[in-house]
């Protein structure tokens, strides 16, 4: 599984319907499973981003489908980072010679 870090902000729609946010998170978790993924951690944050979402998917295509599915609801905008675990990071570094 590949790890992804999502940095998200509520849109105007998301803020107008903020009381529905917990239900949207539950729905996002179910949608992730449809794409063979999982939301591992969710954080509401203060600062540049409203939410941080740590997730796993089998590949970039599954992650992209999940993100696009969420985005079409119009409640959030995301920036997604592909993350490397420490063991993967060490493999990359050891290949540098």
The answer to whether 2 touches 63, Cβ cutoff 8 Å, is yes
Mean pLDDT of 62-71: 95
Domains belonging to the chain, first-starting first, are: 2-94 (3.30.70.920)
Among all chains, which residue has been given the structure tokens 């591992």? 40
Closest by CA to 6, choosing from 37, 88, 34, 93, is: 37
Q: Read off the pLDDT of residues 28-63 as tens digits, 9 standing for 90 and up.
A: 999 999 999 999 999 999 999 999 999 999 999 999
User: Could you give the angle at which helices 60-71 and 21-34 cross, rounded to 10 degrees?
Assistant: 150
- Round the average pLDDT of the chain to a whole number and report it: 96
**Per-residue pLDDT tens digits for 1-36:** 999 999 999 999 999 999 999 999 999 999 999 999
């Amino acid at each position: 599984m590949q790890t992804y870090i999502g940095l998200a902000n509520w849109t105007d729609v998301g803020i107008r319907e903020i009381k529905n946010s917990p239900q949207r998170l539950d729905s996002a978790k179910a949608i992730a499973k449809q794409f063979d993924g999982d939301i591992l951690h969710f954080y509401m944050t203060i600062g540049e981003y409203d939410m941080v979402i740590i997730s796993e998917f089998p590949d970039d295509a599954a992650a992209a489908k999940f993100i696009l599915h969420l985005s079409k609801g119009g409640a959030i905008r995301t920036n997604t980072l592909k993350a490397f675990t420490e063991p993967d990071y060490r493999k990359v570094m050891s290949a540098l010679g």
